[in-house]
Amino acid sequence: MYALIWLIDTLIGLYIWLLIASAILSWLVAFNVINTRNRFVYLLGDFLYRVTEPALRPIRRVVPNLGGLDISPVLLILLLMFVQRLLVQDLARLLL
């Protein structure tokens, strides 16, 4: 049981880092710091979009438009961190 909770916790942690990378990459593209015509940047952006967009889309439907400010990654990260804390508490209960 411990190994399964550890695996889920690790996957959630990796997904949080992918969300952060996706947000940073979108900012860099928006401010023309990096160019999406570069093949590597395009592939990285496409990968991050395909991985993160299915989880962000339902949040974007619910959260109102804030005039170009997208807070859906922040909300998803907070939700994932809450789930991580719940897993750790369950693990602590199992071990005690």
* pLDDT value, residue 96: 66
Helix (H, G, I), strand (E, B) or coil at 96: coil
Q: What is the DSSP string of 45-90?
A: HHHHHHHHHHHHHHHHHHSPP-SS---HHHHHHHHHHHHHHHHHHH
The string of pLDDT tens digits covering residues 50-78 is: 999 999 999 999 998 888 888 999 999 99
11 or 69, greater pLDDT: 11
Domain residues for the domain of 6 are 2-95
Q: What is the pLDDT of residues 18-61, one digit of tens each?
A: 999 999 999 999 999 999 999 999 999 999 999 999 999 999 99
Mean pLDDT of 67-91: 91
Domain count, the chain: 1
pTM score of the predicted model: 0.90
- CA gap 81, 32 in Å, rounded: 31
**What gap in Å lies between CA 42 and CA 22, rounded to an integer?**
12
